[in-house]
Structure 1
Amino acid sequence: MSGSPATRAAGATDQDAEQLRALGYSSNFERSMSLWENFSLGFTYLSPVVGVYTLFGLCLAAGGPPMFWTYLLIGLGQMLVCLVFCEVVSQFPISGGVYPWARRLVGKRWAWMVGWVYAWALCSSIAGIAVGAGPYMAAMLGYDSHSNATIVIALALIGVSTVLNLSGTKLLARVAMFGFICELVGALLVGGYLLIFERHQPFSVLFNTFDIKIDGSYWPAFLAASLAGLFQYYGFEACGDVAEETPNPGRMIPKTMRMTIYIGGAAAMFACLALILSVPDMQKVLAGQDTDPVTTILANAFGPTGSKLVMAVVMVSFVSCVLSLQAAASRLLFAYARDEMIVGSKLLSRLNGNHVPAFALIVSGVMPAAIVCLGLFMADAVATIVGFAAIGIYVSFQLIVLAALIARAKGWLPSGQFTLGKWGVPVNVAALIYGVGAIVNMVWPRTPDAPWYLNYGMILTTAVVIGAGLVYMLLAKPYDKGHAPAGDAWKISGRQRSGRATGTLTEPA
C-alpha cells in the first residue's frame, strides 16, 4: 500500500473494519494496540513473577526441586492449546475471546456455557490475585499481614485497576507494557543476582527428589508439584480478548499468543531456577519448617531495604496482572452483551468516551470485590471460590479445543492467516488429551485427612457453576435473544472472509 504512514494505517484500519463487518459485527473500539502492547497484556495476565512467587513454597515442599521441570512440561502442553486458539482467532478475530470462538465453531448454547464458566473463572482469578498481593504489600511496607488488611489491599487494588481500565485502551496498553518491562527486567535482575551471588544449591539438585514418596512412589508428589506449572500457563487467550483493539489481528494475535507462552514460560522457569538454587536450607522447606522460602531467600540476599525494593517490583506485577485480567473479563461481558446473551445487555455493550465498555468494566470490578469481601465472614469459602479460578479457565479452554474438533469433523478448514495445515487435527487431539489430563490432575484429592469440602472443593465449585449455568440457560434461554452469526465455521470453510487476499498462509508455530 503506497502513501504516507498515516494513509497506510488508515487503509489497514479500514481493512480490519471490513473483516469485522464480514464476520457480522461493527465496532467503535480504537485499534491502537501494537504487537508488543498486545503481547504485554497476555504476558502480565500470565505474570511469571506472580505465578512463581505465589506457589513456589507450596510446590517445592510437595515435590522437591524437580518441580522445576513441571514448568517445561506444562508449557509444552499449553502450547498445543495455544496453537489451536491461534487458528481460531486468526479466522475469527472478535472481542471477547473464547465466547465468540465457541459461538462460531459450535453454536449459541455451547458459546453461552463457555462464556458463563470463563466469566466466573476470571472474576475468581481477579479476586485471588488481588488477595495474593496482600502479603507482598505488607512485606514492602514493613508490617505483619493479617486477613482484614489483606482484604483492604485487595479491594484497593481492584479499585485502582478499574480506574485505569476506564481510562481507555491506550492507557491499558501502556500500563501493561510498563508492567511487562518491570516484571521481565525485575525477574532477570533478581534471578541473575541470586544465581551469581546467592546460590546455595548445585544444579544437580534439580534431579534430587530427597526421597519424597507418596504410597511408595515419587510420581504422585511430582504431579502435585505440577500445580505450579498448571496455575502459570494461561493468559495467552487475553491477547484475543482485545482483537478489535489490535490492528491486523488475524496475523498479529496468533503471534502474540505464542510469544506469551515461550517468553512468559522462559521467564517463569528462570525465576523458579534462581529461587530453587538460592534456598539456604532445602530440608527445612521440605520438612515444613520454612513455609515461606521466597521471603527467606530475598531477605538473605538483599537485606531489609533491598527485599522491599524487590517486593515493589512484585507489586507492579500484581497490579498489571489484575489490570489485564479485568480487561479480559470486561471484553468477554461486552461480547456477551453485544449478542444479547446477558441481562443488562444495553448497558454492558455500551462504550464510553474512551472507547472502552465502562459498565462491563465496573461489573468486572464489583464481582471480584464481592468475592474478596466474603473473606470478612467465610475465609474458607473464599479459598474454595478462588480455587475455582484455574480449573474454570482450563475447562473453558478445553471446551474450545473440543469445539474446534467438532467443527473439523463437520468440515471446518481454518482459513485465517495462521493455520497448522496437515498438523491441525493431530495438534487438536493432543491438546484435548493434555487438557483433560491437566484437569484431572488439578482436581485430584490429595489431602485425605482434610475435610471433604477441601479435598473436593474444585469439583464442587465447578459443578455448582456449570449446574447453575445449565439451569439458567434452559429456563431463561438467553442464547435465543440475539441474532449474531453462530455455528457457521464449517459452512464458510474454504473461502477467506477477510478483506485481505491472504490465501491460507501458514506461519511457523
Structure 2
Amino acid sequence: MSEDRSSSITRRLPPGTATERWTGARHGMATTYRRADLVVLGVGVMIGAGIFSLAGRQAATMAGPGVILSFMIAGITSMLVAFCIAELSSAMPASGSAYTFTYVIFGEVWAWIVGWALVMELLVATAVVARAWSLYAAQMLADLRVPIPAPLAGVVGQTEGFDLFTLLILVLLVAVVALGARIGLRALWIIVVAKLLTIGAVIVIGALHFDQGNLTAIPAPPAPVPAASETLQSSVLGLLFGQTDAFGWFGIFAASATIAFAYIGFDVVATAAEEAEDAPRAVPRGIIRSLMVTTVIYIAVAVVMVGMTSYDEIDLNAPLASAFRRAGVDFMVHVINIGAVLGLTTVVLVLLVGLTRVVFAMARDGLFPRSLAKVNRTYHSPTRATLVIGLAAVLLAEFVPVLTLEPLVVIGALYTFIASAAGVIRMRRTMPGLPRGFRTPFSPYVPAASILACLWLMVNLQVVTWLYFAVWMAFGLLVYLLYGRRNSLLATGGGRPAVDPAYGNRGRHRR
C-alpha cells in the first residue's frame, strides 16, 4: 500500500484488519476475561461513591422524590446507547471501543476525533475519581477517629494542590494494571464483592426505616430557578430559555442529565473485547447485564434515600449518612464510608484498564507513538502505555483542580455515545454482511433515539464545559495533522487488510 496522505478524511480501517491483524506477541493481548468477569468490570466502573450521595443531592435540589424517575430515565438512555455499543463490539471485538468502531465505519479523521474524546473522558475521570477517593478516605479515617500525623495533615484529603492519598492510590493501581490484567481482575472481583455487600446492607437496613409518605409528592411542586448570572456558568438550555424549573417534571428530566454521569463507564467493557473469551457474544452481554445490575442498584438506593427522609430535609453534605444518623443507626455511617472508598477504588482501576486499551489501540494504528503499543512478554500487558498514562493521571490530579472538570467526563462520553449510535445506522447500510454476535433491536429507531437522548443531556451542560471541550478537540485535531496523519499505518502502508474489507471474517472473530 502506498502512502496515502491526501485521503485521511475517507480512508477507513477494514473490519477484518481491526479484529484479525494483530497476531504477534509484540502487539497481541492475552485472553483474560470470561463472561462473568465482563459484568464485574462494568459494575466496578459504574458504581462508585456517587451511589451514596447523588440521589440525595438531586432529590434536594432538582427532582424531589421524583429522583427515582430520574434514575430510570438516565438508565433507559444509557441502555439505548448500550444496545448500539453492544452491536458494534460484537462485530469488531478489538481494543479501542468507539475509536475502533469509528475507524472502520467513518474513517481515520473521525476515529481520531472520537479517540481523542475518549482519552479526555477516561483520563479526566481517572484524575477526578482518584482525588475523590482521597477525600472519602480522609473522611473515613476522621469518622473512625484515626488520627493523621501532623506533618501529613495538610497533604491528605485536599480538594486542590498536592495530595498524598491521591498519589498513593494512583501509583498502586497503575502498578496493578501494569503487572497484567489477571492480577487486576482478581483484585477487582474481591473489591466489587465487598462493595456490593456494603450497598446491600444500606438497602436492607434503610428499607427498615422507609416512610411511604415521603414518596407522595411525585412530581414535587415546581419552583422557578433563574438562569446563572454569568453566561459561561449557564447551561445551554438555560441560556436559550432564560429560566428553568427545579422540581416538577422539568426538574425530573433535568436531574437525569446529571445522574447520567453515574452510568457512564459501561462502554469501558468494550475496550476489553480483545482480551475476552467468545468476545462477539460475551462482550455485548457483559455490557447490557452490568448496566441492568447497576440500574437496579441505583434505583434501589434512590428509593431508600427519599423513603428515609423528606426531600426538603436532606443534608446536602452527607445525604444518606445523615439520614441514617437521624434514624439512630450511626454505625451505617462507617459502612457507607467503607463502601465509598471501595467503590472509588474499582472505578479508578477499571478506568485505567479502559484508558490503557484505548491508547494501546491508537498507538497500534500509528496515531500515537508505536512504542506505546508494545505488549510486555512477561505480564502480557501494554506496560509502557500504562506507565505513561499513570504519569499523566498523576500530573493532572495533583496540579489541576480536577474536581471542577467533572462535566468534561460527561460531555466526552456523550460525544462518543453519539458516534457509536450513528455508527450502527451507517454500518447496517454499508456493511450488512458483517457478522455480528448481537443486533440492536428496532434499528434505526433505537440508535436515533440514543442520539436524541444524548443531545438532550448535552444541552443541560454548562457553556464553559462546551468551550473546554472545543479547545481540547481543536488541540487534538492539531496533533493529528502534525503527527497522526503522517504516521498512521494506513498512510505508511502498514495496515493492509487481512480479509475481505467489505465483510470482515465470516469465521472466527478472534485471532
Mapped contact 2:414–2:454 kept (Cα < 8 A): yes
Mapped contact 1:194–1:301 kept (Cα < 8 A): no
Counterpart amino acid of residue 427 in structure 2: A
Structure 1, unaligned runs of 5 or more: 1-18, 446-455, 502-509
2:323 maps to 1:297: yes
Mapped contact 2:99–2:111 kept (Cα < 8 A): yes
Secondary structure, aligned partner of 1:499: coil
Alignment of 1:227-246 (within 5 A): 227-246=257-276
> 1:262: which partner in 2?
292
User: How far apart, CA to CA, are the structure 2 residues paired with 1:237 and 1:436?
Assistant: 18
User: How far apart, CA to CA, are the structure 2 residues paired with 1:98 and 1:92?
Assistant: 10
Alignment of 1:95-110 (within 5 A): 95-110=95-110
Secondary structure, aligned partner of 1:142: helix
Mapped contact 1:123–1:329 kept (Cα < 8 A): yes
Task: Say if 1:489 and 1:201 are closer, same or farther in 2 by CA, change over 3 A.
Answer: farther
> 1:340: which partner in 2?
366
**1:275-309 superposed Cα distances (whole Å, 9 cap, x missing partner):** 22122x53233xxx654323312444575544223
Secondary structure, aligned partner of 2:489: coil
> 2:428: which partner in 1?
408
2:169 maps to 1:157: yes
User: How far apart, CA to CA, are the structure 2 residues paired with 1:476 and 1:430?
Assistant: 36
Q: Which moved more, 1:209-218 or 1:310-319?
A: 209-218
User: How far apart, CA to CA, are the structure 2 residues paired with 1:247 and 1:65?
Assistant: 42
Q: Which moved more, 1:173-182 or 1:324-333?
A: 173-182
User: How far apart, CA to CA, are the structure 1 residues paired with 2:172 and 2:335?
Assistant: 21
Counterpart amino acid of residue 254 in structure 1: P
User: How far apart, CA to CA, are the structure 1 residues paired with 2:18 and 2:252?
Assistant: 49
Counterpart amino acid of residue 231 in structure 1: F
User: How far apart, CA to CA, are the structure 1 residues paired with 2:433 and 2:132?
Assistant: 43
Task: Say if 1:290 and 1:126 are closer, same or farther in 2 by CA, change over 3 A.
Answer: closer
Count residues with an aligned counterpart.
Answer: 457
Task: Say if 1:459 and 1:299 are closer, same or farther in 2 by CA, change over 3 A.
Answer: same
Structure 2, unaligned runs of 5 or more: 1-15, 144-152, 226-242
After TM superposition, give the deviation of residue 259 of structure 1 in Å: 0.4
Counterpart amino acid of residue 284 in structure 2: P
User: How far apart, CA to CA, are the structure 2 residues paired with 1:266 and 1:353?
Assistant: 40
User: How far apart, CA to CA, are the structure 1 residues paired with 2:497 and 2:298?
Assistant: 38
Secondary structure, aligned partner of 2:507: coil
2:58 maps to 1:59: yes
Counterpart amino acid of residue 215 in structure 2: S
User: How far apart, CA to CA, are the structure 2 residues paired with 1:51 and 1:290?
Assistant: 13
> 1:50: which partner in 2?
49
User: How far apart, CA to CA, are the structure 2 residues paired with 1:301 and 1:365?
Assistant: 42
After TM superposition, give the deviation of residue 395 of structure 1 in Å: 0.8
After TM superposition, give the deviation of residue 390 of structure 1 in Å: 1.4
After TM superposition, give the deviation of residue 165 of structure 1 in Å: 1.3
User: How far apart, CA to CA, are the structure 2 residues paired with 1:141 and 1:486?
Assistant: 56
TM-score (norm 1): 0.82
> 2:406: which partner in 1?
386
Task: Say if 1:349 and 1:239 are closer, same or farther in 2 by CA, change over 3 A.
Answer: same
Mapped contact 2:366–2:484 kept (Cα < 8 A): no
**1:261-286 superposed Cα distances (whole Å, 9 cap, x missing partner):** 1111111111121122122x53233x
**Larger RCO, structures 1/2 (Cα 8 Å, 6+ apart):** 2
> 2:448: which partner in 1?
429
After TM superposition, give the deviation of residue 327 of structure 1 in Å: 0.4
User: How far apart, CA to CA, are the structure 1 residues paired with 2:397 and 2:280?
Assistant: 37
2:374 maps to 1:349: yes
> 2:256: which partner in 1?
226
Secondary structure, aligned partner of 1:147: coil
Counterpart amino acid of residue 311 in structure 2: M
Percent of residue pairs bearing the same amino acid type: 19
> 2:389: which partner in 1?
364
CA RMSD of aligned residues (A): 2.9
> 1:174: which partner in 2?
186
User: How far apart, CA to CA, are the structure 2 residues paired with 1:253 and 1:173?
Assistant: 16
2:86 maps to 1:76: no
Mapped contact 1:71–1:228 kept (Cα < 8 A): no
Mapped contact 1:104–1:486 kept (Cα < 8 A): no
**1:425-477 superposed Cα distances (whole Å, 9 cap, x missing partner):** 22222222222222222x2x4xxxxxxxxxx2211111111111122223334
Task: Say if 1:406 and 1:141 are closer, same or farther in 2 by CA, change over 3 A.
Answer: same
Alignment of 1:437-476 (within 5 A): 437-441=456-460, 443=461, 445=462, 456-476=463-483
Secondary structure, aligned partner of 1:353: coil
